[in-house]
Amino acid sequence: MKLTHLQSSTQFIHLGDITVLNDPWLTDGEYYGSWYHYPPFGSANLASLEYDFIYVSHIHPDHLSEKTFKALPHKKPVLVHNYESKFVKRKLEMLGFEVIECDNGVPFLFDNGGSITIYAADNCNPEICGKLMGCGVVEKKFGSTQIDSLALFQIGKNSILNTNDCPYELAAHTIKTNKLDQINIDLLLVGYAGAGPYPQCFVFDNEDEKISAAKAKEQQFLKQAVEYINLINPTRFAPFAGTYTLGSRLASLTDYRGVPSVSYATDFLNKAVMGVSDGIHLEQFDTYDCQSQELTKNNQKIALSEEQYIEEISNKPLDYDDDSWDDKELVDLIGAAFKRFKLKAEEIKFTSNTKLVVKSKHIAFQLGTDSQVEIIPVDSELIEPYVRIDVDHNLLHRLLRGPRYAHWNNAEIGSHLTYLRKPNNFERGFYHCMCFLHA
C-alpha cells in the first residue's frame, strides 16, 4: 500500500494494482480565481495521471474542483458518501462522471481485496472550522449536518485514514463510534490549517492585532492536529489539505491567513507528539510505502521561488473581473434576496437586532431579521450592532443571482469578502441566513 502526494489534499492511494485519486484539485484559480498552488502542478502532469477510481470527500472546490475534473484525462467512477443532500452527486454527474454512492461506514470492495470505507463527519459547527457561513446549503436548524467525510483505505494488513477537512471536534465522535481509533493506522492524513476568512478578511484596529489573530488561529489548528494524532495513534502521520496561496489582487492577504507551512507544521507536530507517532513532510510527487515505512522524495527543482511565484500570480485577474452586468437589476435582486433571507430566519426561528450592511463600490444596502431591506448611501455612518461586508461590485451581482453564479460560502473561503463587526460577536444564525441571501 502506497501513497503519492500531488497537491494540498489531492493524493494517489495505491491499493495494490488499484489506484484511487483523492479530492482532485490540481488547477489554479479556484474560489473565483483566488486560490493557487505552490509549486504549480502543470497541465502536462495533469494530462498524464493514471488512476482507476476517484474519491471526493465533499463539495468545496479545493476537493471537487470543476476546472480539474474537466481537465482529467480519464472519466473513472467517483466514490462519494451517500449524503442526504445530493449536491455532490449531481455536480459530478453534470460533469459527465459515473457516481457510486457509498453508505456510511459500509466498505466498498475493490476486485483485488482492497477497500474504501467512507464516514460522514456530523454535527457541523462553523465556529469550529472557521468558515463563518458554514455550509448552509444542507444545514437544518443547526442539527446534525453531513457536509464532509473521512475515508479509511485498507488492503491486507495496511491502512490509511484520510481525514480531509474534518476538524477534530467534527470527526472525533465518528471516529470513536466506529472504533477507528482501535485500528492499526499506518498513515494518518491530518489537516493542520483552517481556510476560513479570519483574520485576513477582517478589519482590525492595527496590523499587530491581525498578526496576533493569525498566530492564534495557526496554533488552534495545530492543536487540533495533535488531538487527532493522540486519538488515532498512527504509525506515521502527514499534515495535508488547505495548502494554498492567494493570488490576483488578494495575494497581499496570504501572510495573514494563519496558515503555517507544511514543513513548519510537520516539525511542530513531531515535537508535540514525540513518542506517539512520527510525521512525514509530503511534497509534490513524494511517495510513502506503508509496508516498508519508506518515504521516497521526488526532489524536483522548482523554477520560481514562492515569493517570485506570488508576485507573478498577483497580476492574474479574478473570475468576475470582466463581467458585464446591468445595475438596473440590482434593486430587484436585493429585494428578492432579502425575502429568502427573511424566510430562512423565520424557518429556524432566528431573530437579532444586528443589521447586515453589504457594500460595493457603487451600492450599499442594509437589512435585518427585525427590519426591511433598504438601499443606503455607500458612505453611510452605521449604528451598532452591525456586520458590514465589503464586496467587489461584479461579485455582488453574481452572489445576488444565486449559487449557479456564486455562493457566499465560497466567496468568503476565497477571501473575497471584507468584514467589519461591531461589536465583534459571532451570531451563528445570522451567517446561516446569509447563505440564502440570493434571488
User: How many domains does the structure of the chain reveal?
Assistant: 2
pLDDT at 344 over 60: yes
- Do 206 and 349 reside in the same domain of the chain? no
Residue 228, domain CATH = 3.60.15.10
- Do 21 and 49 reside in the same domain of the chain? yes
Each residue's pLDDT tens digit, 349-399: 999 999 999 999 999 999 999 999 999 999 999 999 999 999 999 999 999
pLDDT at 310 over 80: yes
Under 8 Å between Cβ of 95 and 64:
no
Q: How far apart are CA 325 and CA 347, in angstroms?
A: 32
- Do 252 and 333 reside in the same domain of the chain? no
Cα 2 to Cα 16, 57, 76, distances in angstroms: 8, 20, 20
The DSSP secondary-structure symbol of 411 reads: H
Residue 320 lies inside a defined structural domain of this protein: no
pLDDT at 127: 47
- Do 281 and 342 reside in the same domain of the chain? no
The percentage of the chain sitting over the pLDDT mark of 70, rounded to a whole number, equals 94
Residue 37 lies inside a defined structural domain of this protein: yes
Q: Which of 269, 285, 313 is the last residue of a domain?
A: 313
Residue 321 lies inside a defined structural domain of this protein: no
Residue 146 lies inside a defined structural domain of this protein: yes
pLDDT at 130 over 70: no
Read off the pLDDT band of 173 (50, 70, 90): confident
pLDDT at 122: 61
- Do 350 and 264 reside in the same domain of the chain? no
More confident residue, 6 or 141: 6
Read off the pLDDT band of 182 (50, 70, 90): very high
pLDDT at 428: 85
Read off the pLDDT band of 125 (50, 70, 90): very low
* 288 DSSP β-pair partners: 3, 295
Residue 264 lies inside a defined structural domain of this protein: yes
Domain that residue 306 falls in: 2-313
Under 8 Å between Cβ of 195 and 244:
yes
- Do 358 and 289 reside in the same domain of the chain? no
Residue 322 lies inside a defined structural domain of this protein: no
**Measuring CA to CA, which residue among 158, 422, 420 is closest to residue 289?**
158
pLDDT at 146: 57
Average pLDDT over residues 133-147: 46
- Do 357 and 304 reside in the same domain of the chain? no
Each residue's pLDDT tens digit, 72-115: 999 999 999 998 889 899 999 999 999 999 999 999 999 999 99
Each residue's pLDDT tens digit, 220-274: 999 999 999 999 999 999 999 989 999 999 999 999 999 999 999 999 999 999 9
Residue 212 lies inside a defined structural domain of this protein: yes
Cα 265 to Cα 20, 201, 281, 293, 296, distances in angstroms: 26, 23, 9, 20, 20
Pairing of strands 187-191, 236-240: parallel
Q: Which of 264, 286, 313 is the last residue of a domain?
A: 313
- Do 292 and 348 reside in the same domain of the chain? no
- Do 205 and 96 reside in the same domain of the chain? yes
Q: Which of 263, 281, 313 is the last residue of a domain?
A: 313
Residue 339, domain CATH = 3.30.1050
Q: Give the SS3 label for residue 115.
A: strand
Q: Which residues contact 122 (CB under 8 A, 6 or more apart)?
A: 144, 145, 146, 170, 173, 174
pLDDT at 204: 94
- Do 116 and 214 reside in the same domain of the chain? yes
Q: Give the SS3 label for residue 268.
A: helix
